[in-house]
Amino acid sequence: RKGGFDHYMQKEIYEEPDVFYRTFNSEIDPDFISELKSAEEICVIACGTSYNAGLLFRYLMEMHCDTPVRVEVASECRFFRPRRGSVVIAVTQSGETADTIAALNMAKAFGCTTAAVTNVVGSSVTRVVDYSLCTRAGPEISVAATKSYTAQVAVFMSVLRELCNGSIKEDLDEIHKVIEDALLVDVSEGAEMCAGASDIFYVGRGLYYPVSLEGALKIKEITYIHAEGYAAGELKHGPISLLCEETPIVAVCTMDVSYPVMLSNIKEMKARGAPVIAVGTEGDEDLDDVADVCIYVKKSTPLGEMLAVIVVLQMLAYQSAVILGRDIDKPRNLAKSVTVI
Ligand code: F6R
Strands 86-92 and 113-118: parallel
Residue 283 is predicted with a pLDDT of 94
**pLDDT class of 341 with cuts at 50, 70, 90:** confident
Residue 311 is predicted with a pLDDT of 98
CA–centroid distance, residue 145 to ligand 1 (Å): 6
Atom index in ligand 1 nearest the CA of residue 94 equals 15
What is the overall mean pLDDT for the chain?
Answer: 96
Q: Say if ligand 1 is within 6 A of residue 152 CB.
A: no
- For residue 1, pLDDT over 80 is answered with no
CA–centroid distance, residue 183 to ligand 1 (Å): 23
Q: Say if ligand 1 is within 6 A of residue 50 CB.
A: yes
Between 167 and 258, where is the model more confident?
Answer: 258
Q: What is the mean pLDDT of residues 237-245?
A: 94
For ligand 1, atom 16, name the residue with the nearest CA. Answer: 92
Residue 166 is predicted with a pLDDT of 77
155 vs 26: CA distance, rounded Å: 8
Q: Say if ligand 1 is within 6 A of residue 222 CB.
A: no
Residue 324 is predicted with a pLDDT of 98
For ligand 1, atom 5, name the residue with the nearest CA. Answer: 48
Between 165 and 176, where is the model more confident?
Answer: 176
Residue 264 is predicted with a pLDDT of 95
Q: What is the mean pLDDT of residues 94-119?
A: 96
CA–centroid distance, residue 176 to ligand 1 (Å): 25
- For residue 201, pLDDT over 80 is answered with yes
Q: Say if ligand 1 is within 6 A of residue 93 CB.
A: yes
Question: HSE (CB half, 13 Å, CA atoms) of 154?
Answer: 30
pTM, two decimal places? 0.97
Summarised one tens digit per residue, pLDDT across range 275-321 is 999 999 999 999 999 999 999 999 999 999 999 999 999 999 999 99
CA–centroid distance, residue 138 to ligand 1 (Å): 15
Q: What is the mean pLDDT of residues 231-237?
A: 95
Q: Is residue 227 a contact partner of residue 219, using CB atoms and an 8 Å limit?
A: yes
CA–centroid distance, residue 273 to ligand 1 (Å): 34
CA–centroid distance, residue 280 to ligand 1 (Å): 27
Residue 99 is predicted with a pLDDT of 96
Residue 169 is predicted with a pLDDT of 82
Residue 301 is predicted with a pLDDT of 94
For ligand 1, atom 4, name the residue with the nearest CA. Answer: 48
For ligand 1, atom 11, name the residue with the nearest CA. Answer: 48
Determine the residue of 44, 50, 155, 318 to mutate for testing ligand 1's pocket, defined as the one with the most ligand atoms within 8 A of the Cβ atom.
50
Q: Say if ligand 1 is within 6 A of residue 301 CB.
A: no
Q: Is the ipTM, as predicted for this complex, more than 0.85?
A: yes
Helix (H, G, I), strand (E, B) or coil at 261: helix
CA–centroid distance, residue 77 to ligand 1 (Å): 17
Q: How many angstroms separate the first and last alpha carbons of the chain?
A: 33
Q: Say if ligand 1 is within 6 A of residue 99 CB.
A: no
Q: Which residues of 63-95 are buried (b: 16+ CB within 10 A; e: fewer)?
A: eebebebbbbebbebeeeebbeebbbbbbbbbb
Q: Which residues of 31-54 are buried (b: 16+ CB within 10 A; e: fewer)?
A: ebeebbeebebbbbbbbbbbbbbb
Determine the residue of 12, 44, 49 to mutate for testing ligand 1's pocket, defined as the one with the most ligand atoms within 8 A of the Cβ atom.
49
Residue 165 is predicted with a pLDDT of 81
For ligand 1, atom 3, name the residue with the nearest CA. Answer: 48
Summarised one tens digit per residue, pLDDT across range 31-86 is 999 999 999 999 999 999 999 999 999 999 999 999 999 999 999 998 888 888 89
Q: Give me the phi and psi of 73, to 5 degrees please.
A: -70, 125
- Of the candidates 114, 96, 95, which has an alpha carbon nearest to the alpha carbon of residue 104? 114
Q: Is residue 278 a contact partner of residue 266, using CB atoms and an 8 Å limit?
A: yes
CA–centroid distance, residue 220 to ligand 1 (Å): 13
CA–centroid distance, residue 292 to ligand 1 (Å): 32
Q: Say if ligand 1 is within 6 A of residue 145 CB.
A: yes
Lowest mean pLDDT among 23-32, 169-178, 208-217, 289-298: 169-178
